[in-house]
Structures are given as C-alpha cells and as structure tokens.
Amino acid sequence: MKTDKKPWYKRWTIWTAAFLIFTAFSATMGALLPPPEEAAPVVYVEKADSTEATAKAAEKEAKKAKKAEAEAAKEKADAEAEKLRKETEQAAVDKTLAEFETFKQLLIENSDGIITDVTVEYGSYYKANVFVDETTWAVSSESEKESFATTVSTAIKTVLDDTALVDIRSATNNDIVAEEKVFGGYDIKR
C-alpha cells in the first residue's frame, strides 16, 4: 500500500519550523547571556623598558615645568608692561591737567566775567564743565550762546583732547545750559 505522505524529514514545514525555533532560541540566549569578557592583554615590561619609560616621564615633566615657567614669566612681563602703560598714561594725564590749569586762568581772565570756573575730570576721556554767569547767559541771544559754546569748546579741546566732552553749566545752580550734540554743535537748553 502506497501513501501519499512524505517522510517527516522530507517535509519543508518541519525544516522551516526547526530553523525558526533555532533562530529564536539563539537570539534569546544571546540577549540573556552577557557577552564574553575579553582578557586584558598581558604586557611584559623588561627592566630596560621601565627605565626608558621613567626617563621619558621625567623628560615630559621637565617640559611641563619649563612651559609653566615660561607662562609665568610671560604673565609677569605682561603685568609689568600693563603697569608701565598705566603709569605712562597717568603721567600724560597729569601733565595735560597741569597745562590746563594755566589755560583755565587765561580763559577766565579773557572772558570778561562770563566764565566763572572750569573743571576737568578724567575717566577714560576728558570731561570739562564750564561754569558761566547766569545773568549774562540769560540776556544773550540764541546765536550768541551757540557761538560762545562752540568757541569755548574748541579752545578747551585744543588743550585737552579732541574727544573731550564740554558742557556749559550755570554757576548759580549747576544746571546744564548748553551741551554738546553727538554730531557737532551745541544744544542750548535755556
């Protein structure tokens, strides 16, 4: 009697199922088990190599120390240069302010009593305050005030510096009566 059935080992479904089961089992075991540890490589160092290594390490340390010394020397030189620059700048400012004191006396004397005092401050720039007699300022016309402010400002800037700021103030109440505009000229307050 002949059967149409193939033997079990010739059936494709059996082999496919076996392959899937084996693959699933392998994947599950690979995920559950930790990866095998790799052995650390064994390094055999001879005595000659260790002395050579210590010599190299000492050489590196010497280079680092030399570099640190050079950086410290550079920082010290930079600090000294900065100190010298500041001292030079301060000496120039002091000289300019001393010259301005003599100019200030001439300016007050030649103004016929209109200018009562001039003060100068120095931060990173010169700032001059010109104090004028309130009554004389009040009776002057707008064009006279602007002409006066421009003339005095130009004279002060020749002694101090072109970047100096000059404000005209009232001698009685210290109000600003004229201040310099950004692009030149003066803004007359009153």
Structure tokens at 161: 């510096």
Cα dihedral across residues 23, 29, 32, 37: positive or negative: negative
Judged by DSSP in three states, 105 sits in: helix
Closest CA to 186 of 148, 133, 156: 148
- Please give the Cα distance from 146 to 141 (Å, whole number): 9
Domain extents for the chain? 87-188
- Please give the Cα distance from 175 to 132 (Å, whole number): 10
- Please give the Cα distance from 21 to 23 (Å, whole number): 5
pLDDT at 96: 85
pLDDT at 44: 62
pLDDT at 158: 86
Helix (H) or strand (E) holding 121, with range, is strand 115-122
- Please give the Cα distance from 116 to 108 (Å, whole number): 6
| pTM of the complete model | 0.56
Q: Answer for the pair 180, 167: CB distance below 8 angstroms, yes or no.
A: yes
pLDDT at 47: 54
pLDDT at 43: 66
Q: Where are the alpha helices (DSSP H) in the chain?
A: 12-32, 47-110, 134-139, 142-159
pLDDT at 74: 92
Report residues of the chain scoring pLDDT below 50: none
- Please give the Cα distance from 52 to 26 (Å, whole number): 50
- Please give the Cα distance from 177 to 188 (Å, whole number): 6
Establish how many alpha carbons lie within 13 A of residue 115's alpha carbon, considering only the half-sphere containing its beta carbon: 23
**CATH node for 87-188:** 3.30.300.30
pLDDT at 34: 67
